[in-house]
Structure formats: structure tokens, C-alpha cells
Amino acid sequence: MLIRNEIYKIVKNSLKKEGLEELEFQVLRSREKKHGDYSLNIALEIGKRNKINPMEVANKFKDRLEKEGKKVFEKVEVLPPGFINLFLNHKCFEKLIDEVLQKRESFGNLSLGKGKKVQVEFISANPTGPLTIGNARGGPFGDTLANILKKAGYETEKAYYINDYGKQIDTLGHSVLKDELAKYSGEYIDFLHSRLEDEKDPYKVGKWAAYIILTQMIKATVEKLNIHYDEWFSESWLYENKRVDRILEILKQKDLTYECDGAIFFKAMEFGDIRNRVLVKSDKKTTYLAGDIAYHEYKFRDKKFDKVINVWGADHAGDVKGLESGIEAFGFKDKLDTILLQFVTILQDGEQVRMSKRAGTYITMDDLLNDVPVDVVRFFFLQKSANTHLNFNLDLALDESEKNPVYYVKYAHVRICSVLRNSGINISKIKKAKHVKFIKEEREIDLMRELLRFEEIIEDTANDYEVHRLPQYALDLASAFHRFYNDCKILDEDKKIREARIELALATKFVLSNILSIMGISSPDKM
RNA sequence: GUCCUCGUAGUUCAAUGGAUAGAACAAGAGACUCCUAAGCUCUAGAUACAGGUCCGAUUCCUGUCGAGGACACCA
């Protein structure tokens, strides 16, 4: 229903009638409930622009809003320095609960992305070693982002790009052979070395090792993380099918390449890049960028994605513009969004652990998942924004696993299930909010206000990819429920009140399990 | 040296330019004859520093200090 959008229309309409239709504004959610459910700062903007006292503007506009929004607003209030606060009437909440009970699991499904295809590519760590806590950070993030886009109506695909081509495969081969060119070390290298048969060719050994690492280590960890990819895309495929040659030829025809010192460069600066980029090295081997451009041409031309979101580690920040330029050269400008996840700093025994495949010092995601439940791991990583340089204290993570706030959210769900069981009511028959009109306690209203946010959270996050908003919302909602539970007895003596509260609790259950499922976290009935 | 991302409570993190900067963990206190206390209530505690723009700055701009990352014919 997205009441926020209805309010937007009301305000837009009101502005039109005041001759201010060109004014841009936003409907803000009030942080404190004494300031109503939503607020507008347009009076402050108008006042600033026209040098009028904002209070005067606000008071004048208030009458207009009251008239235009009489079906939605209980009250319109003006407070200094010129905020207009909007209070929703009870009917809005009744409609909301009614809608949740009708739509159940599908409540919150939006049509924002209707008819659009989007791909989220994440993790995509080289198959030269197990997933570390660092490079697996993109797992919960990308998976959840794809889930939310799907919820918002996009046709979504989750993809992992396997870099099974090029120099690092050679390096892996040498490492497994343990010859003088070996660079990687660690238990997994020892393991692969012990499994080695007669093969001596480094590249073939590397290919074999990469296959084992991918299928037995990376995929296993990904599964433990509760992630299911739609596509595992092999870089080698691009070469086997001449897709890299193809894009090199097209770029040449477009006069977007030139030769210099025996290498072929892409004129990326024509697209605003800080430098031109090498596509073919002087030894005639192609660069990673050439493959990546071919890969993205495949995504847009063959698979026809309207949008591709790449979740990368911050160490690739310098490569973003190169790829964007390449994509623009093929006419797919602005169809790529790149999210850079800042690095994870690992602390163990009070010391910073430098993650290095070469030094063999890293903490694998698999090790972590053996000690910490996946729901805890996912919630933990999801709570941090992409820009956060997060500090991960391994000892603390193990100690505090049981104190993770994810249990607070799950417990709210468990409590609801428990009460609903005790109620003896067949909840599958509750499809309407018939009794919500009897609700009037503060805690009940507070809870409904939180439920109202759900669709907004979906919409906002599908638009700005700020996935860390989700766990925060889940905590807020769980908190609102726990307080409600504490202050209001759900199975009250009074039949009307009892049924109203069951309806409210059931609606909360649907939204809670909905948000948890988007985050890839289970909603238990019992704990 | 240039560029990117950061610097918020003891700790880990939040806060579309808005109203009294929020949570969790840690610390301290409290309530329950009542639907599972993994819950509830209360207390204490923070914007690195210096300027600037604005009615209003954690948020935008400049500088300083500090952290991580990038500046390849590596991937």
C-alpha cells in the first residue's frame, strides 16, 4: 500500500493548489512519535527561498493539507522552526494489518522492478584458495541484495564469476607442484600436493587444482552460507568461445584501440577514465580487463540484463572506471553499478592477522562456520554498511556468538508462534483484520507503526542498496513486539481485544519471517 | 606524492542536511502470583582536531592528524 506514496500525492496536490507544483520535497518519517508519523520540511525550504518566516508558510499550508488529506490524517501539526508533522488516523493502520493478513508471505512484494532483469554478481573470489572471512563478506551482502531486488519485483539472477584462466592458474599449479615458482602455501596446498598424480605441466595442474578448490571448497562454503547461485560463470568459457577476440575486434573497428610498445591499449580516456588501459600485453596475452569487458558484453547483449550490480572488494576500486568505459563503448552506459566493500580487519589474540594467500595466513569462512551458526554470521556481516572498514575479532566472535542480536529477532518470532499455538485458534483462517479497530494501547500502535515501515524498507533498499538497513529494521520490529508482548496480554479475557491482538501478532509474524527470509535467516517456531 | 573509503559511547556498529546523535555487548540499578525472562523498565557513557557554508552539520566544503585500500603490459 505504501502510505508514504499516498502522502506524497496529497502533498503534491496541495502544493499544486498553492501554485508551488515545481517544488521538490520528500516525505520524511518522523524519528519521534510525538512528531507524528511523517513530517515535511517544505515550509523551511520555501521560507528560505522566499525569505519568509517558515512558521507562517507552514501554518498556511497546514489548512490545505488538512483539507486534501482528511481521509488519511488524524492531525496536522506545525512546530518550530517550521516542521509540518503528519499524524495518521487509525483507519490507515487497520488497512495495513488487513493487507498483511491477506497477502501474508507476499506482503511487501513491490512492482518497482516489474519487467526488469537484474543480475547481482558477488564473491567471485579466485579459485586459488578457500574463501576467507574477507572475500566472503560479499556473500551475505550480495545474496541479500538480490533477495530484496526480487522482492521489489525485479527478475533477479545471482552469479559467481570463476577466474579459471590466466596467470594465477599457472601460479596455483606451481604452488601445488611446490616448485621454485610456487607462491601460495597453506594446508590446502599441502592437501592438493598429496593428491597430485603424474601430471607435471603447471597449467594443467593449476586447472585441476582450481577445479577441486571450486567444487570441494568454495561451493561447499557457499552452501553453508545458505547461498544459491543461479549461474557459475567460467572465464575460460569466454576464451573457448572467442568472446574476447570478438570484443577486441569490435573495439578495433570502432577505432577505440591503439598499439604501443607491442601492446594493444583501449582508449578508455575517451570515456572519462584517468588512463588508457591495456587489453593485450606485448606477450600477446590478454589482460583481465579484456575478459571482463567480454563478460559484461555477454551479460548485457546475450542475457539482456537491464542492470548488473557487481559487489567487489575495495582493492578493485581502481578498476571500476576501466570496466565502465569498456561497457560504455558497447552502448551499455549506466547499466552497471559497482559496490565496493571495504576490507575486513581480522584480529586474533589481540593481533591483526594479515590476510595473505601467499603467506598462507588467513582465516577461512569455513572455519568460522564450523564454530558460529550461519544465521549469526549472516546477521553480523549484514549489520555493517559496505563502506565500513569492519573489525572482526575472531575470539570475540566465538565468545559472543550466542549473544548475537539475531536471536533477539528470532525470539520475537518464537514468542508469536508460541502464543498463537496457545490461543487454540486456527490461524490459517485469519485473512482479515476484523478486530484491529479495537486496538488503542500505545504499544499496539507503536508496533503497527513499525509494520508500516516494512514496504518502505524494501523500496528504499532496492533503490540505494543499503542492505544494512534490514537487520536494523528487524531489530526495531522485534523490539516493538517484545514491548507490546510485555505490556499487553495477547490472550486477554476480553474476546474482542484478544482477537485484535492475535491479528496484530499474526501480522507481525508474517513481516518478521519475511524480513528474516530476505536476509537468508531462518524463522524458528521454537528455540 | 595523487586518488578512493573511513575516523561516533569502554567495544562492535547505526543515523535520506533536520527536531533531545540511536542500538547491541560490556558496567550499574529495578519490576513480575500474569501468554516461554534468549524478554521488559531505568542509569551512566560518544561525533579525531581546526576552520567554513546554512535557519539548522555526524552528514556538505577546506586544512591537519590517524586507519585501510588503489595508483601494472597482476588477477
Contact A358/A183 with Cβ under 8 angstroms?
A: yes
Q: What percentage of chain A exceeds 70 in pLDDT?
A: 98
Task: Specify the 3-state DSSP secondary structure of A34.
Answer: helix
C-alpha cell at A424: 487454540
Q: How confident is the model at residue A359 (pLDDT cuts 50, 70, 90)?
A: low
pLDDT at A234: 97
Going by the DSSP 8-state scheme, the letter that residue A215 receives in this structure is I
Point out the residue nearest to B24 (C-alpha to C1'). A405
Between residue 143 and residue 172 of chain A, the positions with Cβ below 7 Å from nucleic chain B are: 163, 165-168
C-alpha dihedral, A125 to A278 to A291 to A464, nearest 10°: 60
Q: Say yes or no to pLDDT of A425 above 80.
A: yes
CB count, 10 Å around CB of A510?
21
From residue A363, give the alpha-carbon distance in Å to each of A46, A307, A345, A398. 55, 33, 11, 13
Point out the residue nearest to B16 (C-alpha to C1'). A28
pLDDT at A493: 87
Q: How confident is the model at residue A360 (pLDDT cuts 50, 70, 90)?
A: low
pTM for this predicted structure: 0.96
| A277/A265 Cα distance (integer angstroms) | 5
| Protein CA at A335 to nucleotide C1' at B66, angstroms | 37
- The reply to whether A485 has its C-beta less than 7 Å from any atom of strand B is yes
- The reply to whether A282 has its C-beta less than 7 Å from any atom of strand B is yes
Going by the DSSP 8-state scheme, the letter that residue A162 receives in this structure is E
pLDDT at A357: 62
CB count, 10 Å around CB of A402?
10
Q: Say yes or no to pLDDT of A353 above 90.
A: no
| A14/A62 Cα distance (integer angstroms) | 10
Q: Identify residue A388 by its one-letter amino acid code.
A: T
- The reply to whether A443 has its C-beta less than 7 Å from any atom of strand B is no
Mean pLDDT along residues A320-342: 96
| A44/A62 Cα distance (integer angstroms) | 13
Between residue 170 and residue 199 of chain A, the positions with Cβ below 7 Å from nucleic chain B are: none
| Protein CA at A331 to nucleotide C1' at B22, angstroms | 44
| A387/A311 Cα distance (integer angstroms) | 12
Between residue 211 and residue 240 of chain A, the positions with Cβ below 7 Å from nucleic chain B are: none
pLDDT at A45: 80
Nucleotides of B under 7 A from a protein CB: 4-6, 11-16, 18-20, 23-26, 34-41, 54-55, 67-75
Task: Specify the 3-state DSSP secondary structure of A486.
Answer: helix
Q: At a CB cut-off of 8 Å and minimum separation 6, what does A88 contact?
A: A3, A36, A37, A38, A72, A73, A74
Q: Say yes or no to pLDDT of A423 above 70.
A: yes
Q: Say yes or no to pLDDT of A350 above 80.
A: no
Give tens-digit pLDDT for A33-51: 889 999 998 888 887 777 7
Give tens-digit pLDDT for A255-313: 999 999 999 999 999 999 999 999 999 999 999 999 999 999 999 999 999 999 999 99
ipTM: 0.95
H/E stretch holding A487: helix A469-487
Mean pLDDT along residues A483-507: 93
- The reply to whether A527 has its C-beta less than 7 Å from any atom of strand B is yes
Point out the residue nearest to B31 (C-alpha to C1'). A486
- The reply to whether A26 has its C-beta less than 7 Å from any atom of strand B is yes
| A508/A69 Cα distance (integer angstroms) | 27
Between residue 107 and residue 126 of chain A, the positions with Cβ below 7 Å from nucleic chain B are: 126
| Protein CA at A325 to nucleotide C1' at B13, angstroms | 35
pLDDT at A272: 92
What is the nearest nucleotide to A466, using C1' and CA? B16
Give tens-digit pLDDT for A365-388: 999 999 999 999 999 999 999 999
